[in-house]
Chain A
Amino acid sequence: MSDEKKIIDDAIDQEYKYGFVTDIEQETFPPGLDEEVIRKISAKKLEPGWLLDWRLKAYRHWKTMVEPTWSSVKYPTVDFQSISYFSAPKKKPELKSLDEVDPELLETYRKLGIPLEEQKIFAGVAVDAVFDSVSVTTTFKKELSNHGIIFCPLSEAVQNHPDLVKEYLGSVVPAADNFYAALNSAVFSEGSFVYIPKGVRCPMELSTYFRINALNTGQFERTLIIADEGSHVSYLEGCTAPMRDENQLHAAVVELVAHKDANIKYSTVQNWYPGDKEGKGGIYNFVTKRGICLDDNSKISWTQVETGSAITWKYPSVILKGDNSIGEFYSVALTNNYQQADTGTKMIHMGKNTKSTIISKGISAGKSQNAYRGEVKIMKGADNARNYSQCDSILIGDQCGAHTFPYIDVRNHTAKMEHEATTSKIGEEQIFYCNQRGISEEDAVSMIVNGFCKDVFQELPMEFAMEAQKLMEVSLEGSIG
């Protein structure tokens, strides 16, 4: 092994620091899935009949579906009967303030560096923390409600705002959309709900942290964000999980609805446990995220930094229905060791003068495989649609792979499409250049990689951009070789 190779290896090698398990009393359903389990989940959450029916319908449909195999990821078949579909901290978290939260939980959040503490709260981040299947606390509710903003666990919204939930749930990602979305629709147990009223600019970042703690549970959260006419919201989700030898399933659904002139920015920093160096354990992250620009001049922007999970399978998409609407997708996906990522986006242009931008940066290290898969569809009525796509990959070492699968479907001749793609190896010359200026190999790699990701990082809210940079460094440790 050459020196450089060794350093890349060392640099990628840093251990997952969120791998602790929280010792908290949990109520967990026994593994297995049938209609009875779904009824029990629904009953636990005191759900109205229509929602139970919706779940059951999704479940019955799911049973007729098969797991998709078209992506490039490889994994053993998931045994859906060995997973528990509900797990919650036992003390029922009906909390008024942070003081009432179980100190073990708070300690967990502290370890995660979640901005739950006062200082961060002053920084203006409203946090909904989802611990396994239950939302533990939503900070800042009061200030938000002064603006008429609803930001709460989805289960709470079902109770307090049933009309809104009923109107929009499944309106963007229908229950039968795909295998994992159907499963999620049947068993989803938590997630966040956001409603921004007409003309309101949400005064702070909204943020959710997801954590899978319990053994053999899946996490099936469901997030629904509705931005009414002329409103603006920026939302961030982060995720971590303990280190476990078994693979854990995470099948989430996120739905975004942007009305006329509304603007939704959705950022993800995904750091689920990626498995160990030999590829043992780690989260299977099978996620369906979709937004709809329902009306004119609306905008939806997805930014994701994906460094975790054993397998990532997600394609945050935008349906550009309103005229002049805008869809954006900015993505950094980093894979190391035996991680696999198959991620990208779908932009579906329906309205006139709609515009989409796709910037995807893939970084592969170790023995990992990293694929970009994206589709741009210009429908018949979408006059003067424009798309710009740029997909760049870099390889660190020579045992990893990068793949690009762009699909284009244009049914209107006025469309303007631009596509650029590059794949390169992280330059030995670049690293030597840095070394020659006294910069260590490790710092050089993280500097080069961060430079490579800059176009995406600058789309993240400030403090999370810093976090993302640090995450890249950590995830790359030991990759230089």
Chain B
Amino acid sequence: MMLKIKNLHASVGDKPILKGINLEVKAGEMHAIMGRNGSGKSTLTNIITGKEGYTITDGSIEYKGKSILDDSPEDRALNGIFQSFQYPVVIHGVNNTYFLRTAYNAKRKYLGQPELDAASFMKLIREKMKLVEMDRSYLKRSVNDGFSGGEKKRNEILQMVTLEPSLSILDETDSGLDIDALKIVANGVNNFRREDRSFIVITHYQRLLKYIEPDVVHVLMDGQIVKTGGKELALALEEKGYGWLDGDQL
């Protein structure tokens, strides 16, 4: 089992946000999570990757069979959990390539492998950039500095294919992408799929799921997964909206 979340309750301050999440993701699986704005999708992502500011009041999260609740964000990352951010941050003055190499070498170091020098890393990164059809000029710029919305998302996927995580959580990676970019990103993800790699794709649109075929689709509502199904569930949502599920809950 790649990820096993049981009865997860979490709040920000006094405000409960996740109210009993159960989720199992097996190795090699592609899960999609859909749900209204504010339903808790990003919160769930942040809690899995260990962001501060949330209190876990109940429940457990296991990754590859072990609880990760006490692990620092960087340990979780080094162990292969990756988050493609809904809003990637800008880091002024920090060269994109340098950033990526620092991250890459942190991982190598963690795995007891020698660090890669600048030249070898350049070679590697050029290959990786082809996977997301990114222009080399991005390498010279500061991290996400002046990147358009779509460029930032592509940069996230570049980081994913470079760092090669086992569990990738893509939080609205499709938002802000034009049609061509959407295909490119979807392609990047699909080519990256492997039987030992799992994905959770958070999206509002069925459109993405046309290109990235999910094994399982979940609907998150007010901090709970209220419905789980196959990819047909996404189609039903597109057609009927979330309203019909409100009734389901009763």
Q: Which residues of A contact B (CB under 8 A)?
A: 2-4, 427-430, 432-441, 443, 447-448, 450-455
Contact A438 B78 (CB under 8 A): yes
Residue of B52, B92, B93, B102 contacting most chain A CB atoms (<10 Å): B93
Contact A4 B52 (CB under 8 A): yes
Stretch of B19-27, B83-91, B129-137 at the chain-chain interface: B83-91
Contact A427 B93 (CB under 8 A): no
B232: CB under 8 A from chain A? no
Complex: A438 Cα to B74 Cα, angstroms = 4
B163: CB under 8 A from chain A? yes
Given contacts A436-B73, A438-B163, contact A450 B93 (CB under 8 A): yes
Complex: A146 Cα to B83 Cα, angstroms = 61
Contact B102 A439 (CB under 8 A): yes
Contact B106 A439 (CB under 8 A): yes
Q: Mark interface residues in B103-115 (1 if CB within 8 Å of A CB, else 0).
A: 1001100100000
* Between-chain CB contacts (< 8 Å), 29 pairs: A2-B52, A3-B72, A4-B52, A427-B89, A428-B52, A432-B51, A432-B73, A433-B91, A436-B51, A436-B73, A436-B77, A436-B82, A436-B83, A437-B77, A437-B99, A437-B103, A437-B106, A438-B74, A438-B77, A439-B74, A439-B103, A440-B74, A441-B74, A448-B91, A450-B94, A451-B94, A453-B93, A454-B92, A454-B93
Contacts of A435 in B (CB 8 A): 50, 72-74, 77
Complex: A56 Cα to B45 Cα, angstroms = 72
For the complex of A and B, the 8 pairs showing the least CB-CB separation, nearest first, are A451-B93, A454-B93, A451-B94, A437-B103, A435-B73, A438-B77, A438-B106, A438-B78
Contacts of B77 in A (CB 8 A): 435-438
Interface of A is mostly: helix
B203: CB under 8 A from chain A? no
B142: CB under 8 A from chain A? yes
B49: CB under 8 A from chain A? yes
Measured CB to CB, the closest approach of chain B to A350, in angstroms, equals 34
Contact B91 A437 (CB under 8 A): no
Complex: A113 Cα to B59 Cα, angstroms = 54
Complex: A453 Cα to B93 Cα, angstroms = 8
Contact A3 B52 (CB under 8 A): yes
Measured CB to CB, the closest approach of chain B to A250, in angstroms, equals 31
Contacts of A441 in B (CB 8 A): 74
B159: CB under 8 A from chain A? yes
Measured CB to CB, the closest approach of chain B to A14, in angstroms, equals 20
What is the chain B residue whose CB lies nearest that of A428? B52
Contact B102 A447 (CB under 8 A): yes
Contact A452 B103 (CB under 8 A): no
Measured CB to CB, the closest approach of chain A to B170, in angstroms, equals 13
Complex: A441 Cα to B92 Cα, angstroms = 17
Contacts of A427 in B (CB 8 A): 89
Contacts of B49 in A (CB 8 A): 436
Complex: A11 Cα to B106 Cα, angstroms = 18
Contacts of B159 in A (CB 8 A): 437
Complex: A430 Cα to B82 Cα, angstroms = 16
Contact A438 B142 (CB under 8 A): no
Contact B74 A448 (CB under 8 A): no
Task: Pick the residue among A4, A433, A452 that contacts B88 (CB under 8 A).
Answer: A433
What is the chain B residue whose CB lies nearest that of A454? B93
Contacts of B99 in A (CB 8 A): 434, 437, 447
